[in-house]
């Protein structure tokens, strides 16, 4: 039974550094699924330093979710520095076009 008491003894989160890409990290969370993973992914994408964020459940029988985060500036993926709040619409960061994103996201319709 997947009661909370059945879960004791296993580590909840494991953090691994991603060796292929700079400033990226893999968080493996045990016994969580898309409910939490999708929320964390969407919030990470909303952070201005977030370059890449995804959640995936590796195999359906493995009850864990992996959150893969890459951040842009000099901060560890674990604890980003506090963002200075930018409230005026004109000062939005368009740095994405200049940074090393693998694909362009700017729509030119």
Partner 1 sequence: MAAAQAVEEMRTRVVLGEFGVRNVHTTDFPGNYCGYDDAWDQDRFEKNFRVDVVHMDENSLEFDMVGIDSAIANAFRRILLAEVPAMAVEKVLVYNNTSIVQDEILAHRLGLIPIHADPRLFEYRNQGDEGGTEIDTLQFRLQVRCTRNPHAAKDSSDPNELYVNHRVYTRHMTWVPLGSQAALFPEGAIRPVHDDILIAQLRPGQEIDLLMHCVKGIGKDHAKFSPVATASYRLLPDITLLEPVEGGAGEELSRCFSPGVIEVQEIQGKKVASVANPRLDTFSREVFRNEKLKKVVRLARVRDHYIFSVESTGVLPPDVLVIEAIKVLMGKCQRFLDELDAVQMD
Minimum separation from the CB atom of position 100 to partner 1 (A): 13
Answer yes or no whether residue 102 interacts with partner 1 by CB under 8 A. Answer: no
3-state secondary structure of 28: strand
Q: Which residues contact 29 (CB under 8 A, 6 or more apart)?
A: 12, 13, 36, 37, 64, 65, 66, 67
Minimum separation from the CB atom of position 59 to partner 1 (A): 17
Minimum separation from the CB atom of position 48 to partner 1 (A): 4
- C-alpha–C-alpha distance, residues 67 and 42, integer Å: 11
Q: What residue ranges bind partner 1 (CB under 8 A)?
A: 1-6, 11-17, 25, 29, 32, 34-36, 38-43, 45-48, 50, 76, 78, 83, 85-97, 105-107, 109
């Amino acid at each position: 039974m997947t009661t909370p008491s059945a879960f004791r003894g296993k580590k909840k989160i494991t953090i691994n550094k991603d060796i292929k890409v700079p400033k990226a990290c893999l968080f493996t969370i045990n016994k969580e699924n898309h409910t939490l993973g999708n929320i964390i992914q969407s919030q990470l994408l909303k952070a201005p330093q977030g370059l890449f964020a995804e959640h995936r459940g590796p195999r359906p029988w493995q009850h864990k979710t992996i959150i893969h985060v890459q951040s842009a500036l000099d901060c560890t993926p674990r604890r980003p520095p506090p963002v200075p709040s930018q409230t005026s619409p004109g000062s939005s960061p368009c740095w994405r076009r200049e940074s090393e994103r693998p694909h362009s996201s700017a729509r030119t319709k």
